A and B are shown apart, each in its own frame.
Chain A
Amino acid sequence: MQYWSDILGHQRVQSVLSRAIDGGRLHHAYLFTGPEGVGKFTTAQTLAATLNCERRPADTFAPSCGQCSSCRRIASRQHPDVLFIEPTGKSVRLIKIDQIRQLQKSAVSSPYEGRFRVVLIDDAHLLREEAANALLKTLEEPPARTILLLVTDQPHRLLDTIISRCQRVRFGSLSLETVADALPKLLTQADPEAGDFDADSIDPTLFPVAAGYGEGSLGRSLAMLKSGMLAERQEFLEQMLGLDPRSPIAWLNAAKDLADSGSGFQEKLDVLTVFFRDMMLFKRTGTDRLVNQDLHELIARIEPRFSMEALLTTLDALMSARRRLRGNVNSQLLAEELLDRLRNPQTRALTPPA
């Protein structure tokens, strides 16, 4: 169910939208931009529910009630006047022109029963070129009582002509406290995609850590928690940082494990990156503002092994590894090179084969 009060943070966005409803001065198209997983789509869906809520007096803002038939059908995506357009396709996800044509066809007539017809376009940057051009026509000659909500975290991939025809609403990152507070509640909500994920198994001390990893994105924090990577973090870091510089077999085996972890490689690199960031912070300021708060003992133990310069070059290496991993490199070589750096922080000389 969509409740206005469930939108976390984004006070400015909320006030922009509620004032527009209040004055009956809604723009015909809004472009919601901002980092992924901060609630752009949720806000869009809540706005759709609020606009069509049966208990809302005309031209006056009132939060969606969540009780009336309209609110319930919008939440279950069964409302005839609220259209959801999302990328389709298995390997390449795109929004196709047929989907836009369908929208144009329905936009010919006035809304079926609601006050407004609301069209939600999620991941709008995935509009195919011809679909984007078709959409332009609708944006230029907006049908009466139709509101388009475009949602994207990559606005630079949209046509300039689309951006200029929408009122842009910018979403910032959420504060880490907000994310940490919201995580337990989100985890307990039934999520059909989660499968047999057991929410109770998660240690509550991990919530602030996950919030730190998500960098203000609730979606990414949640994914981090569900991946289980956080719980295994200490073991993983101890293994990676405990490699004996004189034992190449352990080094190569660890590199192979890392390279073979597939999509988990990226997450593991994230863990390493955040850990090194924490070490750097710890070296300069002590335990303040660490993401891995629960690991400060480990940080304190490992930190003396790295000079500030070594930390910085390692961080650079981690960043470039993250980037190169997306670019189809040999992950085995990448892992070997990185781990060698970790086991020989000061000299970084290659050990001759035993």
Chain B
Amino acid sequence: MKIRISSTAFTEELFKLQGVVSHRSTLAILSNALLEAKDGMLTLHATDLDISVSTSCACEVLEPGKVTLQARSLFDIVKNLDGDTLELETEDNHWANLKSGAVACRIVGTHADEFPHILDTTGVELFPIGTERLLDMIEKTIFSISTDDSRANLTGAFFRVTDNNTLLMVSTDGHRLSKIETRPEEFDPKADIPSSLTDGIIIPRKGLAEIKRIVDTDGPELSFGLLDNNIVFQNGPMSLSVRLIDGSFPDFTQVLPKETDNRAVVEKEVLSQSLKFVSLFASSKTHNVRLSLSDEGLELYASDPDRGEATKTMPVNYEGQNVKAGFNFRYLKDVLSAIDGDAVSIEIIDTLSPTLIRDPDREEMLFVVMPMRL
């Protein structure tokens, strides 16, 4: 294969692959990217077997062909070139010669057949979803995805199309839960939705993080579709497919707290600051901070036998019963940083029941944090 390509365009496409190429995998081939040149296009593929990224850009194809090259070093080389165009030519032993301006180098490559099979995403029925809306959903749920591999079904976010044609994304690690349900304008519910989508799928954390990283918010709108056991996201020439997690997501509706009158609305910034201060005194093992709601307001309290104790009271308008509950302050911090409004509503039922945290201006999302025993 022989191509002539703009180095900036090539760098841009290679950047999109960097998140999935693995550096220390038992399969050496996975640190390579598959390059395919034909019909005036260069298509690039990379996979870590769970996430695959394919992207393409225009180039001058002097001789069509395929090769796999080490993705990381190729990226490092191409981004440091001083010439505007790059000429890449492969030899019979799959080595590649790169020439640009005053630079010439040779890098090791392998036969394209050694690369794992690539999912053919052409012909997949795609539903537009709206880039910003999807990224928002990911941001609101990704932090509470479990990292415990022994419960694989929680290591991803649950995603489904509800009967009301809204999109639901939920994540939990057993201690906390995040849920967001939206109806993007771009999403067209009239299309035929596969039944697996209405039943719900589990998208692994790394896949979601990767979308967040490489999707171009200014670019064309994002759409998604299902192919076998993969969810495919398409964004212009770039397509990212993520292998779904087998297994069923637990029924989370049971842990969602019921309505309660013990509800207080506080300013997010103030709560954030107070939490930051009081958490200095939280035990480094349990990270426990106690929240109490009473006529006097919201009181935060933390104590550690080795260090001391602290309280901070915020005046709030509160008419419910006196309640208190202890929480891991890091879980609270995560929720506060996910909320983008100015106010936060906190609903504590009692010491042992799950506590609900919400953005009063955005009813479509909610966060549940399980209390710790005081």
Contact status B246-A109, CB under 8 Å: yes
Q: Closest approach, in angstroms, between the C-beta of B54 and any C-beta of chain A? A: 16
Chain B 49-74 per-residue mask, 1 if CB under 8 angstroms from chain A, else 0 = 11000000000000000000000000
Given contacts A108-B246, A109-B245, A110-B229, contact A78 B50 (CB under 8 A): no
Which A residues are CB-close (under 8 A) to B116? 80, 112-113
Which A residues are CB-close (under 8 A) to B28? 78
The distance in angstroms between the C-alpha atoms of A102 and B49, with both chains bound, is 14
Can you list 7 contacts pairing A with B, beta carbon distance less than 8 Å? A78-B27, A102-B26, A105-B149, A108-B152, A109-B243, A109-B246, A113-B116
The distance in angstroms between the C-alpha atoms of A78 and B243, with both chains bound, is 20
Contact status A110-B246, CB under 8 Å: yes
Which A residues are CB-close (under 8 A) to B113? 69, 72-73
A5 on the B face (CB < 8 A): no
The distance in angstroms between the C-alpha atoms of A109 and B116, with both chains bound, is 16
Which B residues are CB-close (under 8 A) to A83? 26
Chain B 108-120 per-residue mask, 1 if CB under 8 angstroms from chain A, else 0 = 0000011011000
Contact status A80-B114, CB under 8 Å: no
Chain B interface (Cβ within 8 Å of chain A)?
26-30, 49-50, 113-114, 116-117, 149, 152, 229, 243, 245-246
Which B residues are CB-close (under 8 A) to A84? 26
Contact status B49-A80, CB under 8 Å: yes
Number of interface residues of A (CB under 8 A): 17
In the A-B complex, the 10 residue pairs with the smallest Cβ-Cβ separation, listed nearest first, are A113-B117, A108-B152, A80-B116, A78-B29, A78-B114, A112-B49, A69-B113, A80-B49, A105-B149, A109-B243
- Interface members, chain A 67-87 (any B CB < 8 Å): 69, 72-73, 76, 78, 80, 83-84
The distance in angstroms between the C-alpha atoms of A220 and B152, with both chains bound, is 45
The distance in angstroms between the C-alpha atoms of A113 and B113, with both chains bound, is 14
Contact status A109-B26, CB under 8 Å: no
Given contacts A109-B243, A112-B49, contact A76 B114 (CB under 8 A): yes
The distance in angstroms between the C-alpha atoms of A3 and B11, with both chains bound, is 43
Q: Closest approach, in angstroms, between the C-beta of A52 and any C-beta of chain B? A: 12
Given contacts A69-B113, A102-B26, contact A109 B149 (CB under 8 A): no
- Which residue from chain B places its CB closest to the CB of A73 in the assembled complex? B114
The distance in angstroms between the C-alpha atoms of A262 and B355, with both chains bound, is 72
The distance in angstroms between the C-alpha atoms of A102 and B229, with both chains bound, is 21
The distance in angstroms between the C-alpha atoms of A108 and B30, with both chains bound, is 19
Which B residues are CB-close (under 8 A) to A109? 50, 243, 245-246
The distance in angstroms between the C-alpha atoms of A208 and B229, with both chains bound, is 55
Known A72-B113, A112-B117; 5 more pairs at CB < 8 Å: A102-B26, A105-B149, A106-B49, A109-B50, A112-B49
Residue of A83, A102, A108 with most partner-chain B CB within 10 A: A108
Which B residues are CB-close (under 8 A) to A108? 149, 152, 245-246
Residue of B28, B50, B116, B243 with most partner-chain A CB within 10 A: B116
- Interface members, chain A 54-110 (any B CB < 8 Å): 69, 72-73, 76, 78, 80, 83-84, 102, 104-106, 108-110
Q: Closest approach, in angstroms, between the C-beta of B197 and any C-beta of chain A? A: 19
- Which residue from chain A places its CB closest to the CB of B119 in the assembled complex? A113
Q: Closest approach, in angstroms, between the C-beta of A160 and any C-beta of chain B? A: 25
- Which residue from chain A places its CB closest to the CB of B204 in the assembled complex? A109
- Which residue from chain A places its CB closest to the CB of B116 in the assembled complex? A80
Residue of A69, A76, A109 with most partner-chain B CB within 10 A: A109
The distance in angstroms between the C-alpha atoms of A84 and B28, with both chains bound, is 13
The distance in angstroms between the C-alpha atoms of A324 and B202, with both chains bound, is 61
The distance in angstroms between the C-alpha atoms of A217 and B30, with both chains bound, is 36
- Which residue from chain B places its CB closest to the CB of A113 in the assembled complex? B117
Which A residues are CB-close (under 8 A) to B245? 108-109
The distance in angstroms between the C-alpha atoms of A333 and B114, with both chains bound, is 56
Which A residues are CB-close (under 8 A) to B29? 78
Which B residues are CB-close (under 8 A) to A102? 26
Q: Closest approach, in angstroms, between the C-beta of A112 and any C-beta of chain B? A: 5
The distance in angstroms between the C-alpha atoms of A72 and B113, with both chains bound, is 9
Which A residues are CB-close (under 8 A) to B246? 108-110
The distance in angstroms between the C-alpha atoms of A112 and B228, with both chains bound, is 12
The distance in angstroms between the C-alpha atoms of A231 and B199, with both chains bound, is 72
- Interface members, chain A 186-200 (any B CB < 8 Å): none
The distance in angstroms between the C-alpha atoms of A69 and B114, with both chains bound, is 7
Q: Closest approach, in angstroms, between the C-beta of A244 and any C-beta of chain B? A: 59
Q: Closest approach, in angstroms, between the C-beta of B32 and any C-beta of chain A? A: 10
The distance in angstroms between the C-alpha atoms of A14 and B166, with both chains bound, is 56
Contact status A80-B152, CB under 8 Å: no
- Which residue from chain B places its CB closest to the CB of A137 in the assembled complex? B150
Q: Closest approach, in angstroms, between the C-beta of B82 and any C-beta of chain A? A: 35
Which B residues are CB-close (under 8 A) to A110? 229, 246
Q: Closest approach, in angstroms, between the C-beta of B2 and any C-beta of chain A? A: 24
The distance in angstroms between the C-alpha atoms of A140 and B116, with both chains bound, is 30
- Which residue from chain B places its CB closest to the CB of A72 in the assembled complex? B113
Chain A 133-159 per-residue mask, 1 if CB under 8 angstroms from chain B, else 0 = 000000000000000000000000000
- Which residue from chain A places its CB closest to the CB of B28 in the assembled complex? A78
Q: Closest approach, in angstroms, between the C-beta of A80 and any C-beta of chain B? A: 5
The distance in angstroms between the C-alpha atoms of A80 and B28, with both chains bound, is 10
Contact status B27-A80, CB under 8 Å: yes
- Which residue from chain A places its CB closest to the CB of B30 in the assembled complex? A80
Q: Closest approach, in angstroms, between the C-beta of B117 and any C-beta of chain A? A: 4
Which A residues are CB-close (under 8 A) to B30? 80
Chain A 287-329 per-residue mask, 1 if CB under 8 angstroms from chain B, else 0 = 0000000000000000000000000000000000000000000
The distance in angstroms between the C-alpha atoms of A76 and B246, with both chains bound, is 29
- Which residue from chain B places its CB closest to the CB of A143 in the assembled complex? B246
The distance in angstroms between the C-alpha atoms of A156 and B126, with both chains bound, is 56
Which B residues are CB-close (under 8 A) to A76? 114
Q: Closest approach, in angstroms, between the C-beta of A83 and any C-beta of chain B? A: 7
The distance in angstroms between the C-alpha atoms of A102 and B149, with both chains bound, is 11
Which A residues are CB-close (under 8 A) to B152? 108
The distance in angstroms between the C-alpha atoms of A102 and B25, with both chains bound, is 10
Which B residues are CB-close (under 8 A) to A105? 149
The distance in angstroms between the C-alpha atoms of A112 and B26, with both chains bound, is 15
Which B residues are CB-close (under 8 A) to A69? 113
The distance in angstroms between the C-alpha atoms of A69 and B113, with both chains bound, is 6
The distance in angstroms between the C-alpha atoms of A50 and B49, with both chains bound, is 22
Which A residues are CB-close (under 8 A) to B27? 78, 80
Which B residues are CB-close (under 8 A) to A112? 49, 116-117, 243
Residue of A80, A104, A113 with most partner-chain B CB within 10 A: A80
Q: Closest approach, in angstroms, between the C-beta of B207 and any C-beta of chain A? A: 12
- Which residue from chain B places its CB closest to the CB of A101 in the assembled complex? B149
- Which residue from chain A places its CB closest to the CB of B111 in the assembled complex? A72
Which B residues are CB-close (under 8 A) to A72? 113-114
Which A residues are CB-close (under 8 A) to B50? 109
Q: Closest approach, in angstroms, between the C-beta of B298 and any C-beta of chain A? A: 42
